[in-house]
């Protein structure tokens, strides 16, 4: 979409001032739409949360995260904790395998 589609300029090019105002208005509109979208997504996520099974331990909340921005912890669901734990184990195993390969290459030379 061209910048001046919504602006009636009768075929004349936009001045720098008009262009800046148009860009600022578009950015403000985008910010408002994005803020509303994020709000709606959070409401949807809260309404459609999966029930936590008893086998899954509850994540412990840290005081550090909730002092500054409590909404930043919204993504840390039980599913996120499971995936995070699996990822940590995978990284640890890969590092150990790399050390073993290094030792084999160093001593077998």
The pLDDT, as a whole number, for residue 107 is 92
Residue 56 lies in a domain: no
Residue 58 lies in a domain: no
The pLDDT, as a whole number, for residue 103 is 94
Residue 15 lies in a domain: yes
- Asked whether 55 and 82 are in contact (CB, 8 A), the reply is no
Task: Kindly give, in sequence order, each residue whose CB lies less than 8 Å from that of residue 14, ignoring residues fewer than 6 positions away.
Answer: 3, 4, 7, 22
Residue 66 lies in a domain: no
- Three-state secondary structure of 19-74: HHHHHHHHHHHHHHHHHHHHHHHHHHHHHCCCCCCCCCCCCCCCHHHHHHCHHHHH
Residue 71 lies in a domain: no
Q: How many domains does the chain have?
A: 2
The pLDDT, as a whole number, for residue 66 is 52
Q: What is the average pLDDT value for the chain, to the nearest integer?
A: 81
Structural domain for 40, as ranges: 11-49
Residue 31 lies in a domain: yes
């Amino acid at each position: 979409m061209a910048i001046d589609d919504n602006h009636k300029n009768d075929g004349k090019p936009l001045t720098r001032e008009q262009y800046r105002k148009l860009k600022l208005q578009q950015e403000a509109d985008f910010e408002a739409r994005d803020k509303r979208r994020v709000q709606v997504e959070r409401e949807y996520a809260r309404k459609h949360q999966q029930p936590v099974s008893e086998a899954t331990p509850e994540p412990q909340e840290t005081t550090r995260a909730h002092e500054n921005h409590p909404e930043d912890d919204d993504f840390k669901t039980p599913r996120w904790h499971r995936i995070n734990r699996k990822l940590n184990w995978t990284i640890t195993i890969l590092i150990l395998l790399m050390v073993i390969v290094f030792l084999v290459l160093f001593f077998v030379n």
